[in-house]
Structure 1
Amino acid sequence: MITYFGTPRIETDRLILEKFKLTDAQAAFDHWLSDERVSDNRVSAAHQSISQTEERLFNIVSDYESKEFCYWAIKLKESGELIGEIDLYDIEKATGNCEVSYSLGCNWWNKGYGTEALRAVVEFGFTQMSLHKISAAHNTDNPASGRIMSKAGMLQEGIIRDMIRNSKNQYKDCAVYGILQGDYCKKI
């Protein structure tokens, strides 16, 4: 049985995961949502205006009223700087399975922040929410995301051809990863 907590604050060694605020719009726009390098690895196109980001954050902040909504801003603990986002979504009550996605601004790539955030959310999902399985996928032309998933204990389960179509109307193959609560508990 899943226990819902909404989006509680989570601290790691270097990060704070917390709810977005409407005042985060400019930083989210500047740091990753307007960046083509980041959006190339996402389904949604890069934002062309701050108003797109403001609307997106308004919708996220509005959804915090639901205890079933898990969507974190990723901030550096030392400076409070917003560097990305991570969420649990498509939580299936019948199976206890869900998916996780994340994005980081490219100024913070290859520094271990993605792994640190994903590990924290996986731990929260299994130890607090009692989820059964957490899955994720990445474009096969973005192997760095697969390394993040592997370092967080996820195993590659396969590749799905033409799984997504990006904002440039290109189909992309995706590698699918997953971790089971039982496997997670054996490692801790």
Structure 2
Amino acid sequence: MINFVGTTKIETERLILRRLELTDIESVYNHWLSDERVTDNRISPAHTNISESKERLDKIIRDYSNKEFCYWGMELKTINILIGEIDLYNFDYATDNCEVSYSIGFNWWNQGYGTEALQAVVDFAFRQMNVHKISAAHNVDNPASGKIMHKVGMKQEGVIRHMIRNAKNQYKDCAVWGFLQEDYYKG
């Protein structure tokens, strides 16, 4: 059974994973939600104005009242700047499984922040929440995301053809990855 504790603060060597706040709106908009290089790897299109991001942020903040909501902003410890987001979602109560997704601003790609954040959230999910399995997927034309998943111990389970359709109305094949709690503890 999953032990839901909500979105609690998590610290890593270089990051603070924390709840988003309304004061984060400019970072959220400027660093990833309005950047097509980032949103090309997401289902939803790039935001064209800050009010779209504010609407999304308002909903996230409201959802923090639910203990089953696990959604963190990634903040760099050294300069207190928000660089991305990561969340656990789609909890299946019959299997105790869930999914994870993340987005990182382009300026911080290929610096290990995605791996660091994902490792922390995987640790949290398995150790604190007692999740049985974590799944994730990435567009096959975004292999960097797969490298992050591999580095934290996830195993690629296959490729699903035309799994999503992006904002440009293009179907994308996605690599699907999984990580079992028992494999996590085997190390």
SS at match of 1:71: strand
Say what the alpha-carbon RMSD is for the aligned residues: 0.4
What does 1:25-174 correspond to in 2, within 5 Å? Answer: 25-174=25-174
Q: 2:181 and 2:104 mapped to 1: Cα distance?
A: 25
The TM-score, its normalising length taken from structure 2, stands at: 0.99
Q: 2:100 and 2:37 mapped to 1: Cα distance?
A: 20
1:20 is the counterpart of 2:17: no
SS at match of 1:13: coil
Q: 1:79 and 1:6 mapped to 2: Cα distance?
A: 26
The TM-score, its normalising length taken from structure 1, stands at: 0.99
Aligned residues: 187
SS at match of 2:110: coil
SS at match of 1:2: coil
SS at match of 2:32: helix
Q: 1:124 and 1:107 mapped to 2: Cα distance?
A: 26
Q: 1:94 and 1:173 mapped to 2: Cα distance?
A: 27
1:5 is the counterpart of 2:36: no
Matching residue's letter, 1:114: G
- Consecutive unaligned residues of structure 1, counting only runs of 5 or more, are none
Q: 2:59 and 2:16 mapped to 1: Cα distance?
A: 21
- Consecutive unaligned residues of structure 2, counting only runs of 5 or more, are none
Q: Equivalent residue for 1:185? A: 185
Which segments of structure 1 move beyond 3 Å, counting only runs of 4 or more? none
CA deviation vs aligned residue, 1:34-87 (integer Å, no higher than 9, x gap): 000001000000000000000000000000000000000000011110000000
Percent of residue pairs bearing the same amino acid type: 66
Matching residue's letter, 1:108: W
Q: 1:2 and 1:80 mapped to 2: Cα distance?
A: 32
